[in-house]
Structure 1
Amino acid sequence: MGRRILNDALRTMVNAERRGKATANLQPISTVMTSFLRIMKNRGYIKDFQVFDPHRVGKITVELQGRIKDCRALTYRQGIRAKDIEQYRLRMLPTRQWGYVVITTPNGILDHEEAIMRNVGGQVLGYFH
């Protein structure tokens, strides 16, 4: 599954937020995208999301909260060690106070706080703030 699909979905959400819409429809979908959205929901950046017909092309409807300023998926694979996560976060996010870097690890897809807490590294999927 290419990262272009994830990046297009995240950009669709950002554009819908900027226009003041309440929902965004994402299509096509992937399991990585649902994991990314689950992290965003747990951190309070979106209200909820629903997956329709995941066996075919599928569609996800996301209820927006108006809190997303920017959200991107990296199109290149960048490996990161557990001790380097904090420096990467400071470089990519605008401030220390909000925003999360999403990393795919051997323990699953985690945000930077959980990855630091579990002391695991992996590949950076993207970030949101």
Structure 2
Amino acid sequence: AAEYEAAMRAMPREVVGVCDRSGKEMPSLDLCLLGSGADGHCASLYPHSAQVVCSPGCDRVYLPAEGKDGITLSIDAINSAHNVLISAGKTAQSDMVRKSLGWSNAATNHALPAGMISTSGGAVVEWILTENSAADLPAM
């Protein structure tokens, strides 16, 4: 993860944009498409994991993905993207969707990484839902 992050940070700004809206320079992706789980995880960031607890405020872009042979983005790096799409299409995700979109403290709740993805860094965040996964949301 550290080597990949160093390589990305070394790229010219024309290749990898930089977001300084959050008060620190982070590479800024144009689009970040994330899956999520009923437990509130997204982007291989699991509830209460070390990767989630260090965010927000983590100056890392890439982190080792817990339990996987790979890497993931930090919450701060995701929030620095220009656009974020979060997919949640299963009935079992309806409670997680309600909490992620409705809790006033969702952006700092380590039990709900999907809810920590926010517009605070300037990202446009949109959720891709089904009728079943949106079933617990209040009527509009």
What's the TM-score once normalised by structure 2's chain length? 0.25
Structure with greater Cα Rg: 2
Q: Quick check: which one's helix share is greater?
A: 1
- Structure with more strand by fraction: 1
